[in-house]
């Protein structure tokens, strides 16, 4: 697990001063307890720290991840993917906007006739085109979309945790879920079989959080 600079500092403080309360850690970092709470939750879930009620935080030499983290590592994208919101590259940009609103999505996956991944188009792409005073009814999606190979994607067997990291690191709201295949020319191509989004991640967290309630 790669820790942020602040999380590394928290771990150092706990190592030197455990048991130590969240308020005491916050004071050492000159931060509020609320600001620190997400970091402490992550470090506890990852098994780096142990939290004991009314006592404080301890550093764990033998790291054992929490049950929630263990469960997250077991989940696969294919179990939670949604139906792909896909369009063709020759669709007009105006019709793409209409499709985006009617399907209530932030990005559309652009595919060929055989569902091969060609690109992605987002609200930002369409907004840039509109600001340029382009006639969106005359401009096909293929002209303004982000093209392969510059598309961040996932597969059905990728862990949900790894796919979620891609969403955060690349600041996208949708990952096309693909199966890899070889076309008649021997080239590697990607068949779109779904999409994995921020909404999927939120639903997964809600499901895990409500288990046993």
Q: Can you give the pLDDT at residue 211?
A: 55
Highest mean pLDDT among 58-67, 146-155, 204-213: 146-155
Segment 76-114, tens digit of pLDDT? 999 999 999 999 999 999 999 999 999 999 999 999 998
> Is residue 57 within 8 Å of 18, Cβ to Cβ?
yes
b or e along 151-181 (b: 16 or more beta carbons within 10 Å of the residue's beta carbon)?
Answer: bbbbbbebebeebbeebeeeebebbbbbeee
CATH of the domain at 53: 1.10.10.10
Judgement on whether residues 156 and 110 belong to the same structural domain of the protein: yes
- How far apart CA 30 and CA 169 sit, in angstroms, is 27
Judgement on whether residues 15 and 27 belong to the same structural domain of the protein: yes
Segment 40-57, tens digit of pLDDT? 988 887 778 888 888 999
In this predicted model, which residue has the larger pLDDT, 1 or 199? Answer: 199
Residue 6, pLDDT > 70, answer yes
Residue 163, pLDDT > 70, answer yes
Nearest residue to 92 via CA among 61, 136, 123: 136
Judgement on whether residues 99 and 123 belong to the same structural domain of the protein: yes
Helix (H, G, I), strand (E, B) or coil at 87: strand
Residue 211 placed within a domain: no
Q: Among 74, 104, 126, identify where a domain stops.
A: 74
Judgement on whether residues 26 and 94 belong to the same structural domain of the protein: no
In this predicted model, which residue has the larger pLDDT, 20 or 65? Answer: 20
Q: Can you give the pLDDT at residue 120?
A: 96
Q: Can you give the pLDDT at residue 73?
A: 77
Q: Can you give the pLDDT at residue 109?
A: 97
Q: Can you give the pLDDT at residue 62?
A: 67
Q: Can you give the pLDDT at residue 47?
A: 79
- How far apart CA 136 and CA 139 sit, in angstroms, is 5
The two structure tokens encoding residue 182? 């070889």
Q: Whole-number mean pLDDT of the chain?
A: 89
Which of the four pLDDT bands, split at 50, 70 and 90, describes residue 209?
A: low
- How far apart CA 81 and CA 191 sit, in angstroms, is 14
What range does the domain containing 104 cover? 77-198
Q: Among 28, 47, 74, identify where a domain stops.
A: 74
Judgement on whether residues 55 and 82 belong to the same structural domain of the protein: no
């Amino acid at each position: 697990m790669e820790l942020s600079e602040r999380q590394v500092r928290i771990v150092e403080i706990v190592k030197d001063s455990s048991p130590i309360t969240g308020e005491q850690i916050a004071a050492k970092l000159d931060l509020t307890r609320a600001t620190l709470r997400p970091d402490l939750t992550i470090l506890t879930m990852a098994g780096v720290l142990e939290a004991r009620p009314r006592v404080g935080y301890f550093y764990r030499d033998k790291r054992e991840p929490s049950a929630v983290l263990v469960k997250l590592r077991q989940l696969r994208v294919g179990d939670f993917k949604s139906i792909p919101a896909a369009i063709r590259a020759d669709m007009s940009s105006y019709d793409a906007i209409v499709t985006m609103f009617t399907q209530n999505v932030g990005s559309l996956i652009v595919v060929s006739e055989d569902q091969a991944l060609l690109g992605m188009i987002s609200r930002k792409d369409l907004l840039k085109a509109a600001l340029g005073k382009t006639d969106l009814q005359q401009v096909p999606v293929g002209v303004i979309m982000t093209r392969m190979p510059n598309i961040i994607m996932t597969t059905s067997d990728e862990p949900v945790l790894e796919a979620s990291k891609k969403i955060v690191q690349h600041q996208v709201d949708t990952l096309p879920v693909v199966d890899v295949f070889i076309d008649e020319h021997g080239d590697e191509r990607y068949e779109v079989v779904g999409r994995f989004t921020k909404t999927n991640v939120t639903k997964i967290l809600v499901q895990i959080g409500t288990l046993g309630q």
